[in-house]
């Protein structure tokens, strides 16, 4: 992860300062580009480590966190980038997953005044909800929180190991679902089910990952959607599913799952992991008068390009696009950094 691949040493400064909110792959890639163009860069992140989900959510057998950490260390040591960790930047109020280590909160509007440009690269630190009864019971843990806590243990940031699950149900078929199912298997769960409302052909992760999980012993259940979490003393005991059939394509272009009446069935579990996607977490809410016009009704960022209207605020990565792969986040960070360079040079 050589983020400063455009230069061998720090060039002379332009005197312009850029703040990057979010130290994930998009933010670090943008920082590397900007310092090589002579800009002073400060990075703010709410986590105790840089790297975003590459360091704190994606299992180490998919990406080595040390690669990201060493790349960030190079930015600090050799190019003068300042990184402020445990620092949440937000305009308005909102609690997101991954806020566990926040020690100070900075108003985004203050950074807009202090810096010539701001880049928002805060990623997707909220999980989608299933919207079924019993979802708040003990033993129901979304994939992001499940993976995040395992990574915190790996990095020595928390000591409490998760209890060994007996029967695990992972709901979804994206990359987060794949990672959660595989990590549950590595925790020596007796049974791990991966349940998806379509077939493996429509799985966002691709058929290869599904086949690989099946070979490792994970039980694949397709064309089924949860209807309720069954509990006892507010603790999960099982999940009721309803069988589905595929209908005409929906707005995603994939066949729509249609419930089959009277087809309910139950799978026992002591750990249920919803993994139906993450939601972008911009560092401003509808309470932020200066920027609320750039949010749609769901709170997602609206932007035709990398710059938010006529402000000095730019945006890049998953916070704008939704969850993507690391290569896309890297590219997004570089393109946004180029847009910032054009803006600051007055081209």
pTM greater than 0.85 (yes/no): yes
Decide which of 66 and 116 is more confident.
116
Report the pLDDT value the prediction gives residue 98, as an integer from 0 to 100. 84
Report the pLDDT value the prediction gives residue 162, as an integer from 0 to 100. 81
Report the pLDDT value the prediction gives residue 329, as an integer from 0 to 100. 94
Distances in whole angstroms, Cα of residue 99 to Cα of each of 45, 84, 104, 325, 340: 10, 15, 11, 23, 28
Chain mean pLDDT for the chain: 95
Contact 220, 214 (CB under 8 A): yes
Classify 91 as helix, strand or coil: strand
Farthest CA pair distance, the chain: 71
Q: Is residue 321 over pLDDT 80? A: yes
Share of the chain above pLDDT 70, in %: 100
d(CA 114, CA 108): 10
d(CA 251, CA 4): 40
* Structural domains of the chain sorted by starting position, each given as residue range(s) with its CATH number in brackets: 17-125+278-345 (3.50.50.60), 129-274 (3.50.50.60)
Q: Is residue 343 over pLDDT 80? A: yes
* Lookup result for tokens 């950490």: 69
Q: Which of 317, 319, 323 is nearest to 337 (CA)?
A: 317
Contact 148, 142 (CB under 8 A): no
How buried is 297 (Cβ within 10 angstroms: 0-12 exposed, 13-18 middle, 19+ buried)?
exposed
d(CA 242, CA 222): 11
Mean pLDDT of 274-302: 94
Contact 246, 257 (CB under 8 A): yes
Q: Tell me the per-residue pLDDT of 66-98, one tens digit each, with 9 for 90 and over.
A: 889 999 999 999 999 999 999 999 999 988 888
- Cβ neighbours of residue 218 closer than 8 Å, sequence gap 6 or more: 181, 182, 185, 192, 193, 194
Report the pLDDT value the prediction gives residue 347, as an integer from 0 to 100. 72
The gap between the terminal CA atoms of the chain, to the nearest Å, is 30
Residues 305-340: b if buried by 16+ CB within 10 A, e if exposed: ebbbeeebbbbbbbbbbebbebeebbbbbbbbbebb
């Amino acid at each position: 992860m050589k983020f400063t691949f455009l230069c061998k040493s720090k060039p002379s400064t332009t005197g312009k300062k850029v703040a990057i909110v979010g130290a994930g792959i998009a933010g670090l890639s943008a920082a590397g580009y900007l310092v090589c163009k002579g800009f002073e860069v400060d990075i703010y992140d709410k986590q105790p480590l840089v790297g975003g989900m590459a360091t704190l959510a994606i299992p180490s057998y998919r990406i080595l966190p040390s690669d990201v950490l060493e790349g960030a260390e190079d930015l600090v040591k050799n190019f003068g980038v300042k990184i402020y960790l445990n620092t949440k930047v937000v305009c308005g109020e909102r609690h997101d997953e991954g806020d566990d280590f926040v020690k100070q909160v900075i108003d985004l509007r203050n950074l807009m005044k202090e810096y010539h440009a701001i880049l928002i690269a805060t990623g997707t630190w909220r999980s989608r909800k299933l919207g079924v009864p019993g979802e708040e019971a003990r033993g129901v843990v979304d994939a992001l929180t499940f993976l995040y806590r395992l990574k915190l243990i790996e990095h020595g940031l928390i000591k409490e190991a998760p209890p060994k699950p007996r029967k695990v149900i992972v709901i979804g078929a994206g990359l987060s679902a794949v990672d959660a199912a595989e990590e549950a298997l590595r925790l020596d769960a007796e049974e791990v089910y991966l349940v998806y409302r379509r077939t493996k052909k429509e799985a966002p992760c691709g058929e290869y990952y599904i086949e690989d999980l099946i070979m490792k012993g994970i039980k694949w259940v397709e064309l089924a959607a949860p209807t309720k979490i069954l509990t006892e003393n507010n603790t999960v005991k099982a999940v009721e599913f309803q069988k589905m059939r595929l209908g005409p394509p929906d707005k995603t272009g994939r066949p729509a799952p249609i419930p089959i009446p009277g087809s309910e069935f139950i799978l026992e579990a002591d750990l249920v992991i919803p993994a139906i996607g993450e939601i972008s977490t911009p560092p401003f809410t509808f309470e932020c008068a200066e920027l609320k016009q750039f949010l749609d009704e769901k709170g997602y960022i609206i932007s035709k390009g990398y710059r938010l209207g006529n402000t000095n605020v730019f945006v890049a990565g998953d916070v704008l696009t939704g969850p993507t792969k690391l290569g896309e986040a890297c590219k997004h960070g570089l393109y946004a950094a180029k847009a910032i360079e054009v803006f600051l040079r007055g081209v």
